[in-house]
Amino acid sequence: MYTHYTTRQLVLPMDIEILIPDHHLCRIVDAAVEKIDPRLFIPLHPGGGRPPYPPKMMLKIILYAYTNRIYSSRQIAKQLGENIYFMWLSENQKPDFRTINRFRSERMKDVIYETFFSLVDLLRQEGLVKLEDYFLDGTKIEANANKYTFVWR
């Protein structure tokens, strides 16, 4: 009467890349970061201690999170265990939220502008972004709410 259903056994393909569409955003982020000059990432880790996570992998998950409006390092770390696109980008590595936050706030601080501009240039070369028009909205609008609103109505 019903199809077979059980929560005790999960069957996924051995390679999760099969589940990701060809033109998905995570593939674009992956391709763009892979084309970045690896010399940008050399000064990011001074050495010593535990071997670091690959900086390209960390940059991929942060960029993909930002494109999905996920900015919290705790939420990014959560997605690494729940979202198949994050799992694919990180090759199923799960950095801690502290590691993610430290990478973007301390390690990437000096090279973030170079990385951003090289990514925009790569996207322009691929035809995914046009730099013909640039808009910056700095509109300031007075709020219609203040702490006395509830008193007068």
**Quick check: is 121 in a domain?**
yes
Band of pLDDT at residue 8, cut at 50, 70 and 90: confident
Q: 140 vs 12, 137, 143, CA distance in Å?
A: 50, 9, 9
pLDDT digits (tens, 9 = 90+) for 15-32: 888 889 998 989 988 988
**Quick check: is 30 in a domain?**
yes
- What is the C-alpha to C-alpha distance for residues 21 and 144, in angstroms, rounded to an integer? 44
What is the span of the domain harbouring residue 104?
Answer: 26-37+50-129
**Quick check: is 66 in a domain?**
yes
Total tally of structural domains belonging to the chain: 1
**Quick check: is 84 in a domain?**
yes
